[in-house]
Every structure is written in C-alpha cells, then in structure tokens.
Amino acid sequence: MSKCAACQIDIRLGDIEGNLEKMFAFTREAAANGAKIIVFPEASLSGYCFDTLEEALPYAQDPNGEITQRVTTLAKDLDVHIILGILERGNSPSPDRPIPIFNTALLIGPDGLEYAYRKIHLPYIGVDRWTTPGDRQPMVVEARGLRLGINICYDLAFPELARTLALLGADLIVLPTNWPPHAKIMPEKAAPTRAMENGVYYLASGRVGLERDCQFLGHSLICDPSGKFLAEGDGISETILYADIDPERARNKHVVRIAGQSELHRFGDRRPEFYGELIKQHNEPTPHVLPR
C-alpha cells in the first residue's frame, strides 16, 4: 500500500513564489498525514490563463533548474514524491522560430527529478493555445512501490493514452488538471471510466478559483480500479484528498464475480487485431496556429 494525496488549490497567475509557497505548505500537511505521493494541479507553478506566448515565456522553467532543486530539498526532508505542473521552456529549432514551451508535469523525489511528462493533447484554451504538443512516448515509472503514469487534463478525453499506460503496467494514473466549468462530465464520468476500463487507480488533482475570466471547476478525485470514488473534492474549496493505493489490486486484471460463470479479464479479452483504425494517421484540422 502507498498513500497518495491530491491537493486541490487555488493558483495566482504569474506568482511563482506565492504558488510554490502554497504547494510547500500543502505538501507538509499531506506528508504529516502519511501521504507519500503528493499531486498538484496542472500549471500549478505559473497559472494557466496567459493570453500570448510572449506573456507566458518569462514564467517557463528549466525542469533541471532552481525550482526543481528547491522541491527536491523538500521531498528529501519529508521523504515524499511530489508531482507539480509547470510551463517548460524548450529550445528553438532555429533563430526564426519562436521559443517553444510545453505544458509539463514533473515527478520529483528525494533524489531529484525522476520524470517530466509533456502534455500530448492540447485544447485551444488558455496557455495551451501557445504550447507545443508533447513529443515523447508515454512511459510508466516506479515510485513508492507503485508503477505510475501521468496524463495532463485534456489527455483524459483520449482513452488510447490511458490504455497505453495501463498496458505498460501502470497501477496508478495521475492527472494534474485545470478543468473549466463546462468540463464537469470529466470528473463525473470520464475519470472513473478510465479507471474501470483499465483496472487502475486514477487520481485527478484539479484547481479551484477564478483566473482572469475562467472559474475553475475543482472536483479533484481518486478512483479505485472498479471506478468507485475513494475521495472527491467540491468545486470551491482548497483541500487535500487521500487514498491508499494497493498495487496488487491494480495488477490483477482478472475479475471473478462467480467462478466459472461470471468472469472477465480487462486485458486478456482485448482483440487488438480489430483496432487498426486507432493508430492510423489523420488529417483532421486543428485550431493550433503556432509552427509545430
């Protein structure tokens, strides 16, 4: 068993120090309550509602920079792993191209940065209008005896990604998110469905509060491999949700209701030879206008 925490917090746009101070305070509280993996919302360091790439760029971070060093020190002092959202500053491929930024979640432990996940699916909303799609294959990492996968916000709407992480061995998928008001169906239906259909635990850490003209939804959650809610936040409160994650339960994909009469296997019953359309390239339009 490993105890995990989803920290539902408000965030101030562009206030790196204030947001970091709040995350440190919530981390200390969660650790004092026994949590070993502590998750914060999407873009929790910088805020989300930037209106241009130029406005966002000064708040973009080097994943191996000072912020990560400071979080590492806290993780070492408290013996925890911390997942937080940043805007990651990339490298421009040429002088005539803009400096890219990525919407990134960092997994930081007592020994430093262990994984940086770049958001793959980008909606045309907030800072994601100006970020570059993630360019790395999804992977599962070990932390606190768990096999852990990371998605960010809109990734939840693409079941292929959660299935990929489950097939790679994930026990738990965490989702730093900034759900806007119209996305209520995501915590209500989509997140527990991703948990159930893959037989994994699912933890979504969302944010609350008003940023510019966007009122964020909150409703952080932790679901078990059957899709049952173990913990759920409201739409207004800063809070911490807790749940114990049992990796053995997530690794057993064979569900037996009545032996010999009612059984199913989440992976063994798959028929991938019929799923070819899922991996074909498409030429559908996208509203993203930045050079990719």
With a cut of 70, say whether residue 273 has pLDDT above it. yes
At residue 286, the pLDDT reads: 76
Q: For residue 89, which phi and psi values (nearest 5 degrees)? A: -85, 120
Which residues carry out catalysis? 42, 119, 153
User: What's the CATH fold of domain 2-279?
Assistant: Nitrilase/N-carbamoyl-D-aminoacid amidohydrolase (3.60.110)
Boundaries of every domain in the chain: 2-279
pLDDT in tens, 46-84: 999 999 999 999 999 999 999 999 999 999 999 999 999
pLDDT in tens, 179-238: 998 999 999 999 999 999 999 999 999 999 999 999 999 999 999 999 999 999 999 999
DSSP type of residue 190: I
Contacts of residue 142, Cβ cutoff 8 Å, sequence gap at least 6: 148
DSSP-assigned beta bridge partners for residue 70 = none
Cβ atoms of 108 and 76 within 8 Å: the answer is no
Give the confidence band of 288 by pLDDT, cuts at 50, 70, 90: low
At residue 192, the pLDDT reads: 98
Strands (E) across 171-285 are located at 172-176, 201-205, 207-211, 214-217, 221-223, 229-232, 239-245, 254-258, 262-265
At residue 291, the pLDDT reads: 46
Kindly give the pairing relationship between strand 2-10 and strand 207-211: parallel
